[in-house]
């Protein structure tokens, strides 16, 4: 919405949320304190806020004034009931649709922006239909899924491969297309029916995630055979039918989208009796879990079969670089597995706060890193938040790189090796470290996908 406001000064954009604290944070005069860390976002918000971009908790008033309402609420995986663990929980979509039905005036175009299971628009239409006609209200429902990736959100939005608009009413589709038309060329604005649009979003994420599971499966084979997965990725990626992107082997995909959307697809396939299609897509998630477990096991095996009581430095906790988001981050499972094995972790991430790591690991850290290495971490403390990679490495037997932060490409391996206990290891699950320098500093090095 910030980018729409930035690119369309003639359109008033009002972002509403029930959460007053969050709205206050979006209105914070200090742009470095916005609730989401995303490169370039502060500048965009700085330009548009107060001009034609507004953040408020006055939900009903904003709906009443709007010609177009974007439903952008979260749709987490259900944790209970039918479809638990796979289907999306649509309670916030339903609540939002009901609120729009009640508060809107005149004709309102309702745009599904949240990623939704196929045929959700039907439910939204049914809810809005109940209000239709009352006080002259009418509605059109569109599906307009978002394809931006975190960390590159602003550039993805400013220069999208495509914008997808699914709907029935041509005037409504034209109205939304004219919003994007302020900066997106018409040929990149794709128009489909509602169900194709909803299904395209799930399918795009499933295909992207599938590429990662595919390359991670080959990474394991490379490690076993002496091949190098980066050479394989380059060799296959030059085939224009395969393409070079999304072939980076790693600790498995994380983020709020891939796993959730594939599980949604799995649920839908099962719902329609397509068991083979369901298990095909399910295996993409299965391989991802295996990759994370494999890395944790490999660390334990390398360290003479036990990490009990050993200090391990974990560099990177976010699910990818340039974000403070940890949802489904591979670091979570890998750290939990290592803690389960008795390891004491010193975790550092340039953007993730210790409190977030604590929530993800469901454990409190020990208070401080006092004299790390010279005495054991407190009895109840399975991890602590370190202030820098060097501090994390102090007294550690191994360093694990789990997020590809730029800084980790330029670490001073001489200095790090000097504070570690010997023999010492580097496990680079993102293939970003200067491994020649690490080896020269006396570390044993494992890089994902390197035989």
281 is a contact residue toward ligand UGA (CB under 6 A): no
212 is a contact residue toward ligand UGA (CB under 6 A): yes
257 is catalytic: yes
- Nearest residue (CB) to ligand UGA, 92 versus 246: 246
319 is a contact residue toward ligand UGA (CB under 6 A): yes
Min. distance of Cβ 250 from ligand UGA in angstroms?
Answer: 4
Q: Among 83, 254, 316, 389, which residue interacts with ligand UGA (rule: CB under 6 A)?
A: 254
Give dist(CA 69, CA 60) in Å, integer. Answer: 11
* CA-closest candidate to residue 174, choices 140, 129, 137: 140
265 is a contact residue toward ligand UGA (CB under 6 A): no
75 is a contact residue toward ligand UGA (CB under 6 A): no
253 is a contact residue toward ligand UGA (CB under 6 A): yes
Which residues 6+ apart lie within 8 Å of 17 measured at CB?
23, 55, 57, 59
- Nearest residue (CB) to ligand UGA, 62 versus 199: 199
* CA-closest candidate to residue 327, choices 428, 250, 249, 257: 257
Q: With CB under 6 A as the rule, give the number of residues binding ligand UGA.
A: 20
Min. distance of Cβ 148 from ligand UGA in angstroms?
Answer: 5
Binding window for ligand UGA (CB under 6 A); candidates: 27-35, 241-249, 353-361, 384-392? 241-249
- Nearest residue (CB) to ligand UGA, 219 versus 361: 219
- Nearest residue (CB) to ligand UGA, 146 versus 223: 146
Task: Tell me the two tokens of residue 368.
Answer: 């401080």
Binding window for ligand UGA (CB under 6 A); candidates: 50-58, 84-92, 253-261, 433-441? 253-261
> Is 310:338 a contact under the CB 8 Å cutoff?
no
331 is a contact residue toward ligand UGA (CB under 6 A): no
Binding window for ligand UGA (CB under 6 A); candidates: 106-114, 164-172, 252-260, 280-288? 252-260
148 is a contact residue toward ligand UGA (CB under 6 A): yes
183 is a contact residue toward ligand UGA (CB under 6 A): no
- Nearest residue (CB) to ligand UGA, 26 versus 258: 258
- Nearest residue (CB) to ligand UGA, 212 versus 343: 212
Neighbours of 425 (CB within 10 A): 19
Binding window for ligand UGA (CB under 6 A); candidates: 62-70, 240-248, 270-278, 371-379? 240-248
Catalytic positions, written as ranges: 257
Q: Which stretches of the chain bind ligand UGA, using CB under 6 A?
A: 115, 146-150, 205, 208, 212, 246-248, 250, 253-255, 257-258, 319-320
């Amino acid at each position: 919405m910030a980018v729409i406001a930035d690119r369309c000064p003639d359109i008033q954009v009002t972002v509403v949320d029930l959460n007053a604290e969050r709205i206050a944070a979006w209105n914070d005069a200090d742009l470095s304190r916005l609730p989401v860390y995303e490169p370039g976002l502060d500048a965009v918000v700085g330009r548009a806020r107060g001009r034609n971009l507004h953040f408020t908790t006055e939900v009903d008033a904003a709906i009443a004034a709007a010609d177009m309402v974007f439903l952008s609420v979260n749709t987490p995986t259900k944790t209970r009931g039918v479809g638990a663990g796979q289907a999306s929980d649509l309670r916030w979509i339903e609540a939002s649709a009901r609120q729009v039905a009640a508060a809107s005036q005149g004709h309102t175009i309702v745009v599904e922006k949240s990623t939704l299971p196929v045929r959700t628009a039907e439910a939204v239409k049914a809810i809005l239909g109940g209000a239709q006609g009352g006080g002259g209200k009418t509605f059109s429902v569109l599906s307009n899924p978002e394809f931006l990736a975190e960390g590159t959100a602003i550039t993805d939005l400013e220069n999208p491969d495509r914008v997808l608009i699914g709907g029935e009413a041509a005037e409504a589709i034209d109205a939304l297309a004219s919003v994007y038309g302020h900066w997106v060329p018409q040929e990149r604005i794709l128009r489909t029916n509602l169900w194709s649009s909803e299904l395209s979003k799930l399918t795009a994420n499933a295909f992207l995630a599938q590429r990662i599971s595919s390359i991670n499966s080959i990474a394991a084979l490379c490690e076993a055979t002496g091949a190098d997965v980066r050479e394989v990725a380059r060799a296959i990626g030059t085939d224009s039918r395969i393409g070079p992107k999304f072939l980076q082997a790693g600790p498995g995909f994380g983020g709020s989208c891939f796993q959730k959307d594939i599980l949604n697809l799995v649920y839908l396939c099962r719902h329609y009796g397509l068991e083979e299609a369901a298990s095909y897509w399910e295996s993409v998630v299965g391989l991802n879990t295996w990759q994370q477990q494999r890395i944790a096991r490999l660390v334990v095996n390398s360290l003479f079969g036990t990490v009990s009581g050993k200090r391990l430095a974990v560099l990177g906790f976010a699910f990818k670089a340039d974000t403070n988001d940890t949802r489904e981050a591979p670091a979570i499972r890998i750290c939990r597995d290592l803690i389960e094995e008795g390891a004491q972790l010193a975790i550092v991430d340039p953007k993730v706060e210790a409190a977030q790591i604590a929530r993800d690991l469901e454990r409190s850290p020990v208070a401080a890193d006092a004299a790390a290495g010279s005495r054991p971490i407190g009895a109840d403390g399975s991890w602590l938040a370190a202030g820098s990679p060097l501090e994390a490495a102090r007294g550690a037997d191994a360093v694990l790189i789990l997020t590809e932060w730029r800084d980790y490409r330029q670490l001073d391996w001489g200095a790090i090796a000097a504070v570690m206990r010997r023999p010492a290891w580097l496990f680079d699950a993102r293939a970003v470290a200067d491994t020649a320098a690490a080896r020269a500093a006396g570390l044993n090095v494992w890089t994902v996908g390197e035989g």
